[in-house]
Amino acid sequence: MSTEVRVPTLGESVTEATVATWFKKVGDTVEADEMLCELETDKVTVEVPAPVGGTLGEIVAQEGETVGVDALLATITAGEGKAAAPKEEKKAEAEAPTPTAKDGGGNGEAIDVMVPTLGESVTEATVSTWFKKAGDQVSADEMLCELETDKVSVEVPAPASGTLTEILAAEGETVQAGGKLALMSSGEGAASPAKSEDAPAQDSTAKPSGKDVEDAPSAKKAMAEKGVSRDQVQGSGRDGRVMKEDVAKAGSAPKPAAAPAPAAQAPRAPSPAEDAAREERVRMTRLRQTIARRLKDAQNTAAMLTTYNEVDMTAVMALRNEYKDEFNKKHGVKLGFMSFFTKACCHALNEVPEVNAEIDGTDVVYKNFVHMGIATGTPTGLVVPVIRDADAMSFAAIEKAIAEKGARARDGKLSMAEMQGGTFTISNGGVYGSLMSSPILNPPQSGILGMHKIQDRPMVVNGEIVARPMMYLALSYDHRVVDGKGAVTFLVRVKEALEDPRRLLMDL
């Protein structure tokens, strides 16, 4: 008896998807709810689980094929027997690792170094850096390499002590979750002849130099930006590896006095070779590549325009100072400015619904709810976790959600589901000191609000010049769906609600 695996519902207005990756092959034994494959649509990535346990008998839709909703993807046969054809069986046997001891280049048992679990909905990674080379002796749990995903960096430790006999995935290669990275031997086999002839023996107790240890990619970028050489930085990571924090410390250290300038001589333009020698090329992380692609797509697709206004933060700051201690005591979370801005935006979106809409082909889809995206900076790049149904939440619930999502974002633990489905976004560049900027839309959304630094400025109030805490606001919007009147009205409503928060209580 066989069970059909079909394309699930893909979401509103989505009728087809592309088969991105099969995680199982014909003949594999699968358990109920175990992930079989991944589908990609214009909006989201959809995982397809096994409806029952059994054996994957046939794959109908191959990787790269386009399938419609409810289309047949594969079949599962009850039981655990191999359903593959003879050709598939031979291929599976050739790919499967031999369970018995293997010759790993030494005298001990061969050990596979596998790609670890990469996190929820993450199926592949890029090999960023190998810290060991073939033939090196390694200890159990010593770091072998570093992998990069769209969200986080993952360190791969040695599963046991022994010799690294072969590297199967070189730097820059893409590997699948559960794939094989390298082979180790539990014995103490020597390095390959070519390696041992070229490199002199090193004292195992000597501290590795910076040339032998691959520094963190973020540290390389920071050194290039600050103009700090590798010799000027003391690494605090494993095996003397330079981390981003080490570069910051080195950059803040006092620099030695410059040598006196030589006698005047004719200026000479540096040659391209001299400039190239001082350059450093660092591969973009997968997360940075994704950010770059999405931001450029937004500029290429939307008719993006930005309108500005400013808000007097006196009332919000006074209200916050008056109730922040009592708020924290009752709700267990600090009262910040983001809940005020989130509430003000939800209020304004209710009056100007086109800012909360999106374009789908020749249709405009109006959202009768607010899933608020809160742009969050992390050590690896900008992510936008989504607070669902923010318009129905209290100040305390919003603050708790922002704190929890922000912590998960900084730890690299956000799932794809937590970053999808947003209808409007708030970006706070003020935390970095930005006085004014023009934010870029987060597609397919039609609006994003940019917050900025609060700065005392002279303002005319009742005919007198007084110092007031002012903030510039910027609304970037898609002019294809939002007219100038609607954009300006939205920003004015946000300004009014923040300058007199009582309006939020009275729905004015």
Query: If we measure between CA atoms, which residue out of 134, 126, 170, 173 comes closest to residue 152?
Result: 126
Contact 213, 235 (CB under 8 A): yes
Distances (CA, A) of 203 to 85, 131, 207, 325: 54, 17, 9, 59
Place of tokens 């922002």: 402
pLDDT value of residue 151: 62
- Whole-angstrom distance, CA of residue 264 vs CA of residue 115: 59
pLDDT value of residue 447: 93
pLDDT value of residue 120: 57
- Whole-angstrom distance, CA of residue 233 vs CA of residue 227: 11
pLDDT value of residue 156: 86
Question: Which residues have a catalytic role annotated?
Answer: 479, 483
- Whole-angstrom distance, CA of residue 282 vs CA of residue 456: 41
What does the domain layout of the chain look like in residue ranges? 2-95, 110-190, 290-506
pLDDT value of residue 93: 43
pLDDT of the chain along its 508 residues, tens only? 788 888 888 766 667 888 888 888 888 888 888 888 888 876 667 788 888 888 888 898 888 888 888 888 899 887 654 444 444 444 444 444 444 445 444 456 788 888 887 765 677 888 888 888 888 888 888 888 888 877 667 788 888 888 988 899 888 888 888 888 898 887 654 444 344 444 444 444 444 444 455 666 667 767 777 777 777 777 766 567 777 667 777 766 665 555 555 555 666 666 777 777 888 888 777 777 877 888 888 888 888 999 999 999 999 999 999 998 999 999 999 998 999 999 999 999 999 999 999 998 889 999 999 999 998 887 777 888 999 999 999 999 999 999 998 888 888 777 778 888 899 999 988 888 888 999 999 888 999 999 999 999 999 998 999 999 999 999 999 999 999 999 999 999 999 999 998 888 767 6
- CATH code matching the domain that covers 2-95, chosen among 2.60.40.770, 2.40.50.140, 1.20.1260.10, 2.40.50.100: 2.40.50.100
pLDDT value of residue 97: 43
Contact 370, 390 (CB under 8 A): yes
- Whole-angstrom distance, CA of residue 32 vs CA of residue 180: 25
- Identify how many contiguous H helices and E strands the chain contains and give both numbers: 11, 27
Assigned token pair, 317: 């700051």
pLDDT value of residue 313: 93
- On the question of a common fold for 2-95 and 290-506, the answer reads no
Query: If we measure between CA atoms, which residue out of 140, 131, 100 comes closest to residue 208?
Result: 131
Fold of 110-190: OB fold (Dihydrolipoamide Acetyltransferase, E2P) (2.40.50)
pTM for the predicted model, two decimal places: 0.50
- The answer regarding whether domain 290-506 maps to CATH 3.30.559.10 reads yes
Query: If we measure between CA atoms, which residue out of 157, 163, 168 comes closest to residue 185?
Result: 163
Q: How far is CA 398 from the centre of its chain?
A: 23
Query: If we measure between CA atoms, which residue out of 406, 412, 413, 381 comes closest to residue 218?
Result: 381
pLDDT value of residue 239: 63
- Whole-angstrom distance, CA of residue 311 vs CA of residue 288: 33
pLDDT value of residue 204: 40
CA 304, 310, 316, 320 dihedral sign is positive
The three-class DSSP label of residue 235 is coil
